[in-house]
Chains A and B, each alone.
Chain A
Amino acid sequence: MFKNYLKIAFRNLIKNKVYSSINILGLAAGIACFILIGLYISFEFSFDNYHENSDSIYRVVATSDRDDNYDGVAKVTAPWGESALLNIPEVEAVTRFVFHGTSLMRYENNRFFEGNGFFADSSVLEMFTFPLLEGDPKTALDSPNSIVIDEDFAARFFGDENPMGKTITVSEETEYTVTGILANIPDNSHFTFDFLVSLTSYSHPDIDDWIVWNQFYTYLKLRDGANSKEVEIKMEQILDTNLPEDYTRNYEATLQPLTSIHLTSNLWREITLNSDKSTLLVYGVVGLFVLLLACINFINLMTARATTRLKEVGIRKTIGAQRGALIRQFLGESVLTVFISLAFALLIVDLILPGFVALANSSFDISLMLQPLNIGVILGIAFFISLMSGVYPAFVLSSPKPSAILKGVQKIQGNVSLRKGLVVFQFTASVALICSTLVMQKQFDYMQNKKLGFDKEQILTIPIRDFSINPRYEAIKDRFTSIPGVRDVSFSGNMPGGSDWGIPYSAEGIDEEDEPSFRVLAVDHDFLDVYGMNIAEGRGFSTEYSTDTQGSFLINQEAARQLGWEGEAIGKLMSIDIDPNVLPMQDKPVVGVVEDFHFRSMKETIAPVYFFIPPPNWFANISVKIESGRTDEVLDGLENAWAEFDPVHPITVSFFDEQYGRLHQVEENAGQLISYLTIVAIIIACLGLFGLVAFSAQQRTKEIGIRKVLGSSVQGIVALLSKEYLLLVLIGFFVGLPLSYYWISSWLNQFAYQTTVGIEVYLFTLGITILIAVLAVLYQALKAALINPVESLKSE
């Protein structure tokens, strides 16, 4: 019997090639989108949960809710961790990480710039699950200048040699001994690294200071049953005891569960950019939508097709088929069709996964699908769709009296309105998606073109590798400026869009609690020229004033506004709260106000910024403004000039606008992904419409034939067939409109600077929707209308 069902099912699929392919491919596309998004979301939620101790590890951070722009910082000073371990009984272990910074590393003749690593406490290898392939996790990072490296690092430097015990030379000064080989760090980790160096190798004059040197990502492992809230309170007490009495603390110690960092933490100076749940929610909703659209199509077409099977049902009944047998047959057929679609879907997933992963800024692979839970979900959904699409034919078709069916009296009418409702829903969803895509695209264009407040074009940046060249920075500037095509050269500690240092400051007449969080730019005299920033009041830094070096401040307009200095900032005094021997910037005047500019992405409001000229050893980057069209020439010149000053390290040059553009990469990729999904959704909706019109044309072949014989024109027939479906599309549009408006407004709200959504977006959406719907309907309608009536009437 089963074989008989299978035969009928297959022959039906093959007999109706068009419907079958629409059905199967449409559903496959929907399932594929859903699987991809599902995998992505499940990957995002899996972050850091591979650590055996993931439930008991917390990161301690300094949070603040003082202003909109600043939630706190992910790093703290070194004593936090030390004293937590000593004084809080619940704390079982502590690991602190400090960025290693990029260095030229060498083993024999293999030289690479290596920047992806940390100094870390030796407890790291036992607290976290970073398994060592070789070496002893207890002791590998005990002694100074020990390094553990991952497999890729080992292969890069040592090839087939065993790296254990070998020596890596760093910047031709220090030597690290390899004491362990790490398995590569999994991708679902909120930070990854290629190497770890013992923290005992790290030194800094302020390392024991409770305030100044906050460079330590600090992780605590709590004992079983410990309450993290209580630990927080104890940490607060420790801070109160140890911070100087006259210090005004404007942050609180907070413990973040390790596994929640990736999805929820968005502090200053995170190790890497974390994801956020709202983006995942958007993907999830869109993914479900697309799947739903595909399912609706599938159900619609399956049930529409099922009415052509009435005769078979009648015959089977007269032969003695019971209802149960018929229900099983139709359910079985939909299961078969769904699983064929699933097979196609898996093929599609396999093909487009790499592209999807790149767009989603993620790094999972197909093997994620093999997890039992994911397999379960996919199979569950497949069975659910089978059930939904099989139930109607199974139960409705099996119910009527066979005599009625065989006489041809039976017409399935009841489900027509259901089918129409589903079409309306599909177009509602499509309209919402089209609208969202348009607005997202508009927002990205807006961000790209909005006045940044500075000129990001034609700037090359070069990181300084050997800081011993810093004292000669003026000579380097002169040499670089002499290269044809170079306009201006500036040395700076940091750059817009990049990292900044939270250097504590104070301002004349402002209480410490009221001080807004400032971003800092440590620059030289030419920085404003290179970046094309304009002076609004006063003057910029100038070599004419010898006092400018470590002796005066620039602030931006936003800073003046937040400090309440609008129009009167020039001459106000500010201080950087650092040991005057390190930086003598106490009670120095503001000499100029710079026009506002976007320090970071458009998502953030313009932040207050102060500028100062530090001692040369603070400089870390060189920015070179060049004339357009002379890039190649300048690059050659820079390479030669660079070698004159630093013959050891090869020059590395980046284009500033590309770096800065990366700040919006996540949103842009998200936008692109959503637009692809929209295209898939529209195609699915159109396929559905196409199939339904084809079906109704086929059902009405005889009517069309008679109408033509009686004198109806082709246009008349086309109008007859198209009218009802286009009406449904229009209804879908008007239902979708308010939905998309609501959705878009909330999406836009995450941006501090938003594009405007005008009527043109909706008109455009209406245009697109009607156009594609007309195309989908027209083809079938025309085809039906052009059939010679002799043909259509003969078949009866």
Chain B
Amino acid sequence: MIKLTNIDKYLDKKFQRTYILKDINLELEQGEFASIMGPSGAGKSTLLNILGFLDDANSGEYHFFDEPVHNLSEKQKSQYHKSHIGFVFQAYHLIDELTVYENIEMPLLYRKVKGSERKGMVAEILDRFNIVAKKDLFPHQLSGGQQQLVGVARALIGSPKLILADEPTGNLHSDQATEIMELFQKLNKEEGVTIVQVTHSEKMASYGNRIIKMKDGMLLENFPHMAD
């Protein structure tokens, strides 16, 4: 499903090139639940952003379903955002001015789903996440865990093939975190959604079936000698 070949990401400053990602080679199969782990500054979020087309690599190739992402136009990328990829953020990133219902509905608006169908889809997911009662509240009226539920619901409503989650439980206490992780596990097992999450926590990583360790912009599986 995903194939990264020799991906580099760097910043050029005067006479020095600082690598954020170096020579990343990574393949992910459909149905995997991978956790990217590593110390701060290892390049985890950057890698996730590149996976989600939110950022471009400086060199290397990225194939998504055999499509060369490095050659895609903005328009094609946003097509993929609409239909294939869902994002979950550590800071939830809900739109403050919209209610829970409207936040969840928004991806459908960009996909030009018809009104009646849209209502049905939002109602179903509200029900599935047990947040029907909250649908008319604004984000600031919810707890962090509830906000993240809405964030996940929003990511899922487009039935994406891939969910990218950047420390989805980073701002949550452990009960809430467990809830979100069990949800991810269920989605992965029952619906076959591919999930890639960035996390610091071994416990959260254990919900997945693959751990990708990073250090100094490199994947440890590519450079086994770096492991300590």
Q: Give chain A's interface residues, CB within 8 Å of chain B.
A: 1, 4, 7-8, 11-12, 15, 311-312, 314-323, 325, 401-404, 406-407
Q: Enumerate chain B residues within 8 angstroms of A404, measured Cβ to Cβ.
A: 55
Q: Enumerate chain B residues within 8 angstroms of A325, measured Cβ to Cβ.
A: 110
- CB pair B107–A320 under 8 Å, yes or no, is yes
A4-B106, A15-B97 given as contacts; is B81 within 8 A of A318 (CB)?
yes
- CB pair B98–A314 under 8 Å, yes or no, is no
A317-B81, A322-B74 given as contacts; is B89 within 8 A of A406 (CB)?
yes
Q: Is B72 an interface residue (CB 8 A)?
A: no
A320-B78, A322-B74, A401-B54 given as contacts; is B110 within 8 A of A7 (CB)?
no
- CB pair B52–A318 under 8 Å, yes or no, is yes
Closest 9 CB pairs of A and B: A320-B82, A320-B81, A403-B54, A11-B97, A403-B49, A403-B55, A1-B109, A319-B107, A318-B87
B67-88 CB mask vs A (1 if < 8 Å, else 0) is: 0000000110011111100010
Q: How far is the CA of A601 from the CA of B164 in the complex (A)?
A: 82
- CB pair B82–A319 under 8 Å, yes or no, is yes
Q: Enumerate chain A residues within 8 angstroms of B83, measured Cβ to Cβ.
A: 320
Interface set, chain B 20-39, CB cutoff 8 A to A: none
Q: Is B226 an interface residue (CB 8 A)?
A: no
Q: Interface size on B (CB < 8 Å)?
A: 32
Q: Is B189 an interface residue (CB 8 A)?
A: no
Binding site secondary structure of chain A? helix
B94-116 CB mask vs A (1 if < 8 Å, else 0) is: 11111000100111011110000
Residue on B nearest A405 in the bound complex, by CB: B54
- CB pair B154–A319 under 8 Å, yes or no, is yes
Total A-B residue contacts, Cβ distance less than 8 Å: 74
- CB pair B93–A320 under 8 Å, yes or no, is no
Q: How far is the CA of A8 from the CA of B54 in the complex (A)?
A: 24
- CB pair B97–A406 under 8 Å, yes or no, is no
User: Pick the contact of A4 from B96, B102, B111 — CB < 8 Å?
Assistant: B102
- CB pair A320–B97 under 8 Å, yes or no, is no
- CB pair B110–A321 under 8 Å, yes or no, is yes
Q: What's the least CB distance linking B23 to chain A, in Å?
A: 21
- CB pair A319–B81 under 8 Å, yes or no, is yes
Q: What's the least CB distance linking B154 to chain A, in Å?
A: 7
A8-B95, A8-B97 given as contacts; is B106 within 8 A of A319 (CB)?
yes
Residue on B nearest A319 in the bound complex, by CB: B107
- CB pair A7–B98 under 8 Å, yes or no, is yes
Residue on B nearest A15 in the bound complex, by CB: B97
Q: Enumerate chain B residues within 8 angstroms of A314, measured Cβ to Cβ.
A: 93
User: Pick the contact of A12 from B55, B97, B107 — CB < 8 Å?
Assistant: B97
18 contacts between A and B (CB under 8 A): A7-B97, A8-B98, A11-B97, A311-B95, A312-B97, A314-B93, A315-B95, A318-B52, A318-B93, A319-B87, A319-B107, A320-B110, A320-B158, A322-B74, A401-B54, A401-B56, A403-B55, A406-B54
Residue on B nearest A322 in the bound complex, by CB: B78
Interface set, chain B 167-186, CB cutoff 8 A to A: none
Q: What's the least CB distance linking A268 to chain B, in Å?
A: 68
- CB pair A311–B110 under 8 Å, yes or no, is no
Interface set, chain B 142-195, CB cutoff 8 A to A: 154, 158
Q: Enumerate chain B residues within 8 angstroms of A312, measured Cβ to Cβ.
A: 95-97
Residue on B nearest A4 in the bound complex, by CB: B109
A401-B54, A402-B54, A403-B55 given as contacts; is B75 within 8 A of A316 (CB)?
no
Residue on B nearest A314 in the bound complex, by CB: B93
Residue on B nearest A5 in the bound complex, by CB: B109
A318-B87, A319-B154, A401-B55 given as contacts; is B93 within 8 A of A406 (CB)?
yes
Most buried by B among A7, A12, A322, A323: A322
Q: Enumerate chain B residues within 8 angstroms of A12, measured Cβ to Cβ.
A: 97
Q: How far is the CA of A785 from the CA of B49 in the complex (A)?
A: 39
Q: What's the least CB distance linking B217 to chain A, in Å?
A: 16
Residue on B nearest A408 in the bound complex, by CB: B91
Q: Enumerate chain B residues within 8 angstroms of A8, measured Cβ to Cβ.
A: 95, 97-98
Q: Enumerate chain A residues within 8 angstroms of B56, measured Cβ to Cβ.
A: 401
A320-B111, A321-B110 given as contacts; is B97 within 8 A of A315 (CB)?
no
Q: How far is the CA of A323 from the CA of B102 in the complex (A)?
A: 21
Residue on B nearest A11 in the bound complex, by CB: B97
Q: Enumerate chain A residues within 8 angstroms of B98, measured Cβ to Cβ.
A: 4, 7-8, 11
Q: Enumerate chain B residues within 8 angstroms of A323, measured Cβ to Cβ.
A: 74
Q: Enumerate chain B residues within 8 angstroms of A407, measured Cβ to Cβ.
A: 45
Q: How far is the CA of A332 from the CA of B158 in the complex (A)?
A: 26
Interface set, chain B 38-59, CB cutoff 8 A to A: 45, 49, 52, 54-56
Residue on A nearest B166 in the bound complex, by CB: A406
- CB pair A311–B55 under 8 Å, yes or no, is no
Q: How far is the CA of A774 from the CA of B93 in the complex (A)?
A: 39
Q: Enumerate chain B residues within 8 angstroms of A320, measured Cβ to Cβ.
A: 78-83, 107, 110-111, 158
User: Pick the contact of B78 from A7, A321, A401, A403 — CB < 8 Å?
Assistant: A321
Given contacts A7-B98, A323-B74, A325-B110, 14 further A-B pairs with CB under 8 A are A4-B102, A4-B105, A4-B106, A7-B102, A12-B97, A312-B96, A312-B97, A315-B93, A319-B110, A320-B80, A320-B82, A401-B54, A406-B54, A406-B89
Q: How far is the CA of A319 from the CA of B74 in the complex (A)?
A: 13
Q: Enumerate chain B residues within 8 angstroms of A11, measured Cβ to Cβ.
A: 97-98
Q: Enumerate chain A residues within 8 angstroms of B102, measured Cβ to Cβ.
A: 4, 7
Q: Enumerate chain B residues within 8 angstroms of A15, measured Cβ to Cβ.
A: 97
Most buried by A among B74, B81, B87, B89: B81
Q: How far is the CA of A312 from the CA of B89 in the complex (A)?
A: 13
Most buried by A among B89, B94, B109, B111: B109
Q: What's the least CB distance linking B170 to chain A, in Å?
A: 14
Q: What's the least CB distance linking A394 to chain B, in Å?
A: 15
Q: How far is the CA of A4 from the CA of B96 in the complex (A)?
A: 13
Q: What's the least CB distance linking A321 to chain B, in Å?
A: 5
Q: How far is the CA of A404 from the CA of B45 in the complex (A)?
A: 11
Most buried by A among B54, B74, B96, B105: B54
Q: What's the least CB distance linking B198 to chain A, in Å?
A: 13
Q: Enumerate chain B residues within 8 angstroms of A318, measured Cβ to Cβ.
A: 52, 54, 81, 87, 93
Q: Enumerate chain A residues within 8 angstroms of B95, measured Cβ to Cβ.
A: 8, 311-312, 315-316
Q: How far is the CA of A404 from the CA of B96 in the complex (A)?
A: 19
